[in-house]
Structure 1
Amino acid sequence: MKETEQVSDDLIPIPNKRYFTIGEVARLCELKTHVLRYWEQEFEQISPVKRSGRRYYQREDVLIIRQIQGLLHEQGFTISGARQWLSGDQAVDDKGRYKQLLRQTITELEDLRKLLKSV
């Protein structure tokens, strides 16, 4: 098992530990704590363990939060659209964004292939 795991080049690697406080998750995901508490209400996929009024997130929660952050901040999804995307139900208006992202990915892969062939 890797010592750390990183989802995005811009984010801090996730340490290899079982539980994270809300402050640690906020730092790892570069978000404010109030945003995390709000997203808990909006996304059923985020489910920290609550003990004595404190939240303890697991690695899977951190990965989901990073995925939500990417959907909202990088790909331009609405909260509703991100919720549907995570649940597997593509909304009609989000299908256009999905197709655009797919076309962009294909173009980037083709450019990478050309670059690798030239080396």
Structure 2
Amino acid sequence: MQEAKTNNELPGIPEKRQFTIGEVAQLCAVKPHVLRFWEKEFAQLQPNKRRGNRRYYCREDVLLVRQIRSLLHEQGFTIVGARAQLGQLGRQQDCLEADTQFEHSEISQMLLELEEIFDILSD
């Protein structure tokens, strides 16, 4: 497989809620260790870390990685220049709000199921 030279040559982003570091690496044509390095260099790139310190990126993270990749590889910015160009996008807050909304709906669904079980056991 030939490596994409520009973001226009990258594959489409699937309609998923979360992506692993390997999936993001493939979608953005960078190595996983580059993503981990960029997390340290760009404050906006903060994937959720769960069990075993596994990283889960939301769709906005994937778009941000593509933007960083473009700034560094296509437009020739340095890390410092790309960081300045990005500014504070508020991306992290968007991901947290999306996760919170999803978790609330999951909790609501579990409560409904527990109430149904309680009703069955009560009879």
Fold agreement, TM-score > 0.5: yes
In the TM superposition, residue 9 of structure 1 has moved relative to its aligned partner by 2.4
Whose radius of gyration is greater, 1 or 2? 2
Bigger fraction of residues in helix: 2
| Match of residue 7 from structure 2 | 8
- Matched residue type, 1:64: L
- Matched residue type, 1:46: L
Q: Secondary structure at the match of 1:55?
A: strand
| Match of residue 49 from structure 2 | 50
In the TM superposition, residue 8 of structure 1 has moved relative to its aligned partner by 3.4
Structure 1 regions of 5+ residues with no counterpart?
1-6, 89-119
Taking structure 2 as the reference length, the TM-score comes to 0.64
4+ runs deviating over 2 angstroms: none
Q: Percent identity?
A: 63
Bigger fraction of residues in strand: 1
Structure 2 regions of 5+ residues with no counterpart?
1-5, 89-123
Q: Within 2, Cα distance between the matches of 1:72 and 1:30?
A: 13
User: How many residues are aligned here?
Assistant: 82
| Match of residue 86 from structure 2 | 86
| Match of residue 62 from structure 1 | 62
Taking structure 1 as the reference length, the TM-score comes to 0.66
